[in-house]
Amino acid sequence: MDSLSLHIKRAILRPLLISRGIYISHSLFVDNILLSTILCKTSLICLHEILGKFQKAIGMCVNEGKSSFHVENVNGDLISFLSQLFNIKTFPIRHGLKYLGFNLKFVGYSMGDWSSIFD
């Protein structure tokens, strides 16, 4: 997984700024990957090739039924390219996303959002 992480880091040309001077490109946990990037066709093609090589080497593949892309301010042509390249559904980020069983939102958390963690 360290090799995959290194290759992903190199492929993501523009990681997301999450705080002053702190950028994130991806997070790996066991067999789950959360990618964070500003989309461009070049990095998507590179990422697709990396995941294809990883699949051949390790035997693990992207579960299209459990995977999704969440985007914001992306033009329709790039969304179509993304969906066709990976054969994965794309949703607006404002709908939130689920990672490792947790619902992630970017604004507006309430106490109820954390109840499953406290339970």
Band (17; pLDDT cuts 50, 70, 90): confident
Torsion of the alpha carbons at 104, 41, 67 and 25, rounded to the nearest 10: -40
pTM here is 0.68
What whole-number distance in Å separates Cα of residue 16 and Cα of residue 22? 8
**What pLDDT is recorded for position 13?**
64
What integer pLDDT is reported at residue 117 of this predicted model?
60
Backbone angles phi, psi at 95, to 5 degrees: -80, -5
The whole-number average pLDDT for the span 70-91 is 86
- Where in 20-92 does DSSP place strands (E)? 22-24, 26-29, 32-35, 68-71, 89-92
Q: Calculate mean pLDDT across residues 74-89.
A: 87
Rounded mean pLDDT, 15-40: 75
Q: What share of the chain is helix, strand, coil (3-state, %, to 5)?
A: 40, 25, 30
